[in-house]
Structure 1
Amino acid sequence: MRVILQRVERAQVTVSGEVVGRIDEPGLVALVGITHEDGDAEIAKLADKTWNLRLLDGEKSCADEQAPILAVSQFTLYGDARKGRRPSWSKAAPGPVSEPLFEQYVSALRGLGATVETGRFGAEMKVELVNDGPFTVVLDSADLL
């Protein structure tokens, strides 16, 4: 599982012109990629890390500040562009596998106390954000477990 965390002042996701998720205050955007081997341990570890990592101003976490999180599923985090000119997506878990795991990640964050907005799984989304810093961190379960 890979999660790209971006510290933002605000962010929103639109699908076909409709805003489906929005945070209007400082927090994090979490771009979430799921691979074939991911399961409960990866979900729990990365949800906890997302919530408690001190990325906000003053070395505070979302947990410290009760800051919101906008979570967006993004299979392209497992794109492999080492060969040729067209990325391979074979390391990304297919929708029937990744959608429930993405929802489990969101539920785990909410279980920790987070306010979480989301995009729409599998939809063509437009993600708009005002990156604060810019400040971006990559979390990979392969490095954490």
Structure 2
Amino acid sequence: MEARKTYTVDEAKRKLEHYCAYQERCHKEVRAKLYEMHMIPEAIDLIMVHLIQHNFLNEERFAKAFVRGKFRMKQWGKNRLLRELKFRDISKFSIDAGLKEIDEDDYEKTLETLIEKRMALVKEPNGYKKKKKIADYLLYRGWESYLVFEKLNTYLK
């Protein structure tokens, strides 16, 4: 049996400070990391409080960074972003603050760009089937159905 690495509270604090400084983290990720390190619940609570007090951990900042990054890089819609943030146990307040990071004009332009790119890729002669394939793709990425169909109807008559 291999010896399990153990950490003192101070060692774990330093390790987690570095972990949080490297990239924005949500509370759930940090708690999971501490469990991985085999820390006891009392130590986990102590370290979490320390990270929050010293601003290594900030749920609202995480939500804003997450939304900006996933929208810009993966072009996710608001529904997908909302779902992913809820999965990470982010508060409603922080989710709302994060979603405000998206500029409405950019949001609309991104949707139009995605539709145009997808239209070029989908080689389907039947107009209805083509529209459905494009819509399914966009809905999976979390775009609101009313927006998707509104835009698709202007592109595909």
Q: TM-score, normalised by structure 2?
A: 0.27
Greater strand content? 1
Greater helix content? 2
Q: Please tell me whether Structure 1 or Structure 2 has the larger radius of gyration of its CA atoms.
A: 2
Q: TM-score, normalised by structure 1?
A: 0.29
Higher relative contact order (CA 8 A, sep 6+): 1
